[in-house]
Structure 1
Amino acid sequence: MRLTAAEFEGLPEPRLDDGDPLPPENRAPVRENGLEALYHAHSGRLLRFFSRRAGTTDAPDLVQETFVRMARIEPAACHRIESPGAFLTRIAANLVKDRARLAARRSSSCHVSYDEQVHGQVDPHRLLDDRDALARLEQAVARLNRRTREIFLLHRVEGLTYAEIADEVGMSVKGVKKQMAKALFQLRRDVGPL
């Protein structure tokens, strides 16, 4: 049912009984205890502090931990703190330091010392010689004619048998064997023993 403005103005004002809840503007403000007031006053600042130093993902947890440490202080001691904001900042700075120490301990426990017997056997001259030999082999394979190169790579790189290669390239097994012998002869001549 809709009322017009004139009908609405003619209605008597509603009366509130003692059992009726008060509207929000008439409610008495809730008094915060000291820790809640500190949280509302300083949590944003501490969140920015931790975001710059520890990253945005861990910052809310560190703010929470700061106030947990503050809550552990005896109430009588809390009243003697002259500057609670500065005290919270000190707690926050100590949390960052504790976290850095923990990270350093964890990384040092993951450190593996250099073992001369394990790593000492790698000869850099040998590595260079092997790299040069591989480059010479690649050049020698590139100089083979197309069919011989294809057969050599199918057998030595792909691991196909002579019969599988014969089916793939359309040759007899005997022809594949001749091509492989030709490839090996030319590669040994150009590079050395394989």
Structure 2
Amino acid sequence: MNNTPSVCDEHIYKKVFDDYAEELRNYLYYRSGDMEQAEDLVQDAFIKLWQNCKKVLLNKARGYLYAITKNAFYNEAAHKKVVLKYAKSPQKTADVETPQFKMEETEFMAKLENAINTLSAGEREVFLMNRIEKKTYKEMAEHLGVSQKAIEKRMHKALVKLRKTIKNI
């Protein structure tokens, strides 16, 4: 029979918990800044350790716990990223989009596209970089190799022309 101490022994499991729980919690807290999340992940890791105690050697318990908590932390971070991305995306509601609204939206988008096509190449480039790529005036100036004032002037001209063109259509 094997005399190696087992993590399945309650006294050894408690010692592993006492030795590593606070260390793991602090590690996760420093990474996330969220004490509740850190404590939850540590608790989950120790539950998994208990469920898999026959597979985990005592001298590997610390590494096992770190691997479990680190993976769980990354999974939660990835999940939060997806949730945030979804929250930022515009949500369509069925009650707002009547056929009339859709038709007007389609007509407006056609007018806008035509108006954008009437802009000079420089004005169109600056307008689209700002509105679609979300670039700042400074970023556009660096990218195009012109001054920020030149970008401001192009944007102003583009907006004036767009307002005038859309109003007249």
Q: With structure 2 as the length reference, what TM-score do the two structures score?
A: 0.42
Tell me which protein shows more helix as a share of its residues: 2
- Structure showing greater Rg: 1
Greater relative CO (CA pairs within 8 A, separation 6+): 2
